Amino acid sequence: MLNPAERSALQRALEIAAQPGLPYGPNPRVGCVLLDREGTILAEGHHRGAGTPHAEADALNHARNHALNSTDASTAPTLHGATAVVTLEPCTHTGRTGPCAQALLAAGVGRVVVAHRDPNPVAAGGVELLRDAGIDVELDIPADLAAAADALNRGWGHGLRHARPLVTMKLALTLDGRAAAADGSSRWITGEAAREEVHGLRTTCDTILVGTGTARADSPSLTARRPDGSLHPRQPVRAVMGTGAFPPLPTPDGAGEAILLPTRDPSAALEDLFARGLRHVLLEGGPTLAAAFLRAGLVDELIVHLAPTLLGAGRSATGDLGISTLIERLDLELLDSTPLTSPDGRTDLRLTLRPRAA
């Protein structure tokens, strides 16, 4: 069990691991907080991307620098018997950096709190290594913090298990399933609160993916913006998939890299993105692209913003799924439903769903 200081330190480690502006890449986001024997924070650290010190090494470096710069050696902080609180199991792998489990041992820590075991077989084993060396390792983590640690690297973990990016499909539609009116207009089906949430969702993904039809019709910027129009620090890669012609995407200052995936095959597109180190894809349009991924069974979750609006006619949110009879329907499991109320009083419903296993 965690004591109050350790729980607070884990919350802080999760915060620094999730801070905006960190680079994309096929590496987990990890935070570490070092505590002295009294539960006072000695140092913090986090991983900043491939080739940079891991979170534990970063925190140890900060702690050592603090000790070196202390004017009174007798009161300088010591790592002997300290507690390391980490969001992910310390690694045992030597790559561009050394193994974190060994670094903690060498520093003389007495206890390590681990929020999430490492699913990567190449790097896992830190818990066993530390315990074999006599270090107290705590894995009994409160459910809310364990869930937060798991969510921190959903795309990375999914990539390890499936060798492809996690795919989230975002849909905004009316109560009768329309994504646009008969004349093609779609701004705005949902209210301000839903649209702001979408931009927050974009900051958590590596890539926004649209089809050439959407790129041609809407000329979207595919950026993550604040309500005032300024860009968030962390911008996704902007990808367009398809073989049709389309004008170049608008490129405001600070926008993410724009890439073209010249294929209509969802599997080929995901293979390309995975090879680029991208681990979480947000599908944003249009209906042909949505249908292609659904037919291929490559949608892992759906975020649907449902507006209390009727159009009666217009563009469907998805294209033909190849379903001709009710028994062939694609059933979804509802994970969450949350009302989103805008300043003007308009309330949309956000549904989080995933396809049911066959």
Q: Which residues contact 328 (CB under 8 A, 6 or more apart)?
A: 322
Q: Give the pair of three-digit tokens for residue 153.
A: 């690297």
Local structure of residue 75 (DSSP, 8 states): G
Question: Choosing from 6, 15, 44, 56, which is the catalytic residue?
Answer: 56
How far apart CA 261 and CA 241 sit, in angstroms, is 5
Full DSSP string of 231-276? BPSS--EEEEESSS--PPPP--TTPPPEEEE--S-HHHHHHHHHHT
Q: Which two tokens stand for residue 50?
A: 């491939």
Q: Please tell me whether residue 332 adopts helix, strand or coil conformation.
A: strand
Per DSSP bridges, beta strands 166-174 and 280-285 are: parallel
Quote the CA–CA distance of 124 and 157 in Å, as a whole number.
Answer: 13
Joined tokens for residue 255 = 């926008």
For the chain, count helices (H), then strands (E).
10, 15
Residue 156: asked if its preceding bond is cis (omega within 30°), the reply is: no
Dig out the tokens for 313 from the structure. Answer: 């006619």
Cis peptide before 286 (omega within 30 of 0): yes
| Number of CB atoms found within 10 A of residue 187's CB | 8
Residues 1, 3: Cα–Cα separation, whole Å = 7
Query: Does residue 271 have an active-site annotation?
Result: no
Do the Cβ atoms of 214 and 285 come closer than 8 Å? Answer: yes
Q: Are 155 and 279 in contact (CB under 8 A)?
A: yes
The residues carrying an active-site annotation are 56
